[in-house]
A and B are shown apart, each in its own frame.
Chain A
Amino acid sequence: MPQDPNGPTLFLDGQEVRFETGETLFQVAERYGKPIPTLCYDDRLEPFGGCRLCIVEVEGIRNPVASCTTKAEPGMRVTTKNGTLEMHRRVLLEMVASENREVDVDPLSGYASQELATLVDRYDARTGRFQGHRSGTSRPDDPNPFILRDYENCISCYRCVRVCAEQEGDYAISVKNRGFETQITVEFDGLLKESACTFCGQCVQTCPTGALADLKALARKEVPGDTKKTRTICPYCGVGCAVDMLTRGDTIVGIQPAMDGPANEGALCVKGQFAFDFIQHRDRLTTPFVRDEGGRLRPASWDEALDRAAEGLKAVVEEHGAHALYAVASGRAPNEAAFLMQKFVRAGLGTNYIDNCSRA
């Protein structure tokens, strides 16, 4: 955020810092390297102020305030960390953790799935002091192949509800009951497929506990090895959403959205999120093929196939001229493929007999 040298200031743990009008205390603290723990916060969504983990003390205000919803004001004196605050955060985490069936969920569950576990560890909050009220009723019977709905691990942070409404504009996920009885659900308590859900997976990626989780990735959790992330771009439509491809060894185990992707800013649709297994599918061509004397395609070595192709194309050009050969580039392949296809006809044959699939 650009800093106006004459902008307003406040005191953050005793240090005078500048802020932009409209920033929250959480944002100011984050920028000055004083991270405050959060659970219901996703910086793409409107602040919600539900979990109270992010509380800070402000001089002159009797009770601590939620830093994710409190706007910075000139001259404020803010304490982000002290014994009382840390104690409060620990108790809160103990209570939340004790309500959940499990805290340690597989990281393949989703982008934010480790948030609760990480905080519980940091605050040493695994005591089981509170015999928790169970969080909610799961829907293991939902047969959809993409999204696990394990509400026994839900902490009612509403991130899924908000991402569906604010980010996707779909309003498929809703809440029923209040207080301890709060339950995340979908329209009429039914199956996702029968709701407005488009299976974009955004709820999965924002859930801090793995209550909503990526079933396709979890199906690959037995694949050995550390999970590696490689930044690339979705291969389907022209929006060009940035993703991280998750791999273990040589196996693709899942996809997560790139929160800083310039075109998508963390959003994805069902294709980019879930339709990746064509890559390592048994139907893939694994060798070249050439047509044999009997008219059937048979596997061949690269050398044989390249020679056959070169001979076949050359024979046509020799007999009928350069204009007898036509090249079609792909709108799916990378720029380098399209560039070389046109170079093939232009630099190779001197013609402009090239097109791509944009006309159909």
Chain B
Amino acid sequence: MSNPLRDMEKPDVIFCIGTNMTEAHPVAATRIKKAMARGAKLIVADPRVIGLAEMSDLYLQLRVGSDAALLLAMAHVIAREGLVDRAFMEDRTADGETFLEHVRDFTPEWASTITGVDPALIEEAALLYARAERGAIYYTLGITEHICGVDNVQSLCNLALMTGNVGREGTGINPMRGQNNIQGAGDCGAIPNNYPGFQPVTDPANQAKFEKAWGRKVELEKGITKVRALEAAGDTIRAMFIDGENTVVTDPDREHCEKALESLDFLVVADLFMTETAELADVVFPATAWGETDGTQTNTERRIQRLRAAVPPQGEAKPDWWIISELAKRMGFQGFDYQGPHQVFNELCELSVTYQGVNWDKVEDGAYQWPIPFDGHPGTPRLHEDGFINGRGIFKLIQYRDPAEVVDDDYPVWLTTGRRLASYHSRTQTGRSEGIDYLLPHETLEVHPDDVDGWGLRDGGWARMSSRRGSILIRVESTRRSPRGTVFASFAFNDTPVNLLTGGGYDPTTDTAELKVCPVRVEPAEAPERGSGERPQEVAAD
């Protein structure tokens, strides 16, 4: 996030797009509710009538995967009405004129044919956001999990840049990061293109820096993404070491993923449970859990916080840092003699440009938000206050692109996936917590009541849902949260493997999977036979 969480109470206009915040980031959503109690206006763009949509002042129910078109049209209206922040654009941005020229063609009427949103509502949203003294944008995976995820993010940046809604209290472009430490994993360099602190591996100066630190050469070429690595599994990729990820259930195209991992010569997994992924491994290491582990993690507002062990590990479970170090030592790797997590963290801080100003002791109270470039620096709750790190904010010329797969006669329904309040990811943790089942006993497919009737389904009955990759059985829930022609499910339950169906395409820049859009066919089905286990039948793609 460019701005701190506490800024969420400050905007006068809030624009939430592709974020089901009341379920996925509930405590952040409470701040939006507080802002609204103080008079802030809320614009929500989402295909489903989610909690935020119900709270909103202006709701744009767009078709899944049409975000870029909506955002282009909003930019068009802002430019046409002369609501651009000229001073900001001149001082702080580049390529603005070309951008204003570019958006001239993208009228709300044009966008309406793609998004299905009334042009008048698009106008209204654009005016509301552009006229705000402090306008803030919040988004989540509903923006990024598309083949055009990068385009979508850049479209949001364009809106913020043209209206000067950056670098001030209550403004900004704020991605809500999903997992507890997904921000930290990137910060630490667990990505193919950057060393810790987002230092590109392709820069020889960085190469020299890390060569000195680690006493060996690291190649200048970026690595491949996990998506490509899974594709190459059994071919050029012959072994994997996976830490704490249930790849099989959470990744798209489950069949492909299972086959990929099975085709490896050797697979090592560290996890808390014998997950579907661990079951495929040659060696499984028991890792310590939350409450058993000392360490640090970094939240969505870039705040580094301390995790503390409160109880001893279960059985012989060991912390991840210990497991990785021991394995490294036995592989003959140098530089893995750590006495504790504090030494690991301190090494990270020394090598990272963003964590340089802190160490284990200084992050004790969670007072620092990165960048903290040097010792004595107070941290940076709000990014871009005095300028952009790379000089100017650059406008990008975006075009709308259709999703990788679009509905047709065989697969006439849009499936979109997401999260639910009471379950987390593949439920290895929430599923093992007492009481959660009371709130969420099983997965359902959310279908508009008229579609339930039209497709011959029954509320509470079963449906067979098929995509180009496979087919699953799922219970039907009749609800007006879903628009006509679009259905929703989460991938939380292993017995309803929704990710068997997804995975039609990937963003060309980031390789992020298009989990938010998948054309499917939905037909009435018999309940899965009792005695065949809880697990409904899965059948391969036809």
Contacts and interface: CB of A to CB of B under 8 A. Distances in A.
Contacts of A323: 236-237
B458 interface: no
Interface in B323-361: 324-328, 330-336, 341, 344-345, 347-348
B324 A341 contact: yes
Given A278-B430, A287-B286, A343-B335, A270 B245 contact: no
B430 A271 contact: yes
Contacts of A1: none
A278 B305 contact: no
A268 B26 CA distance: 8
Interface string B418-454: 0001101000111111111011000000000000000
A316 B282 CA distance: 13
A288 to B, nearest CB: 5
A118 interface: no
B456 interface: no
A275 B287 CA distance: 19
B27 A267 contact: yes
A336 interface: yes
Nearest to B31: A267
B426 to A, nearest CB: 11
A339 interface: yes
Please classify the interface of chain A as helix (H, G, I), strand (E, B), loop, or mixed, using the class held by over half of its residues.
mixed
A288 B283 contact: yes
A332 B180 contact: yes
A313 B241 contact: yes
A251 B311 contact: yes
Contact of A331 (B182, B219, B309, B439): B182
A61 interface: no
B238 A334 contact: no
B28 A309 contact: no
A325 B295 contact: no
Contacts of B314: 279-280, 284-286
A228 to B, nearest CB: 7
B341 A336 contact: yes
A283 B274 contact: yes
A11 interface: no
B239 A316 contact: yes
Contacts, number: 484
A198 B421 contact: yes
Given A145-B434, A238-B183, A346 B310 contact: no
Most B C-beta atoms less than 10 A away, residue of A168, A250, A335: A335
Interface in A321-359: 323-348, 350-359
Most A C-beta atoms less than 10 A away, residue of B182, B195, B214, B308: B182
Contacts of A317: 239
Contact of B238 (A238, A242, A320): A320
A238 B435 CA distance: 23
A77 interface: no
A284 B289 contact: yes
A324 B236 contact: yes
B223 A351 contact: yes
A271 B114 CA distance: 37
12 contacts: A231-B306, A250-B311, A276-B433, A279-B291, A288-B316, A309-B283, A326-B229, A336-B321, A347-B334, A351-B223, A353-B229, A355-B225
Given A262-B366, A336-B345, 11 more contacts: A198-B26, A232-B291, A235-B289, A276-B433, A288-B285, A312-B265, A314-B331, A336-B320, A343-B328, A353-B229, A360-B513
Interface of A: 143-146, 166-169, 193, 198-200, 216, 228, 230-242, 245, 247, 250-252, 261-264, 267-272, 274-281, 283-291, 297, 302, 305-310, 312-317, 319-320, 323-348, 350-360
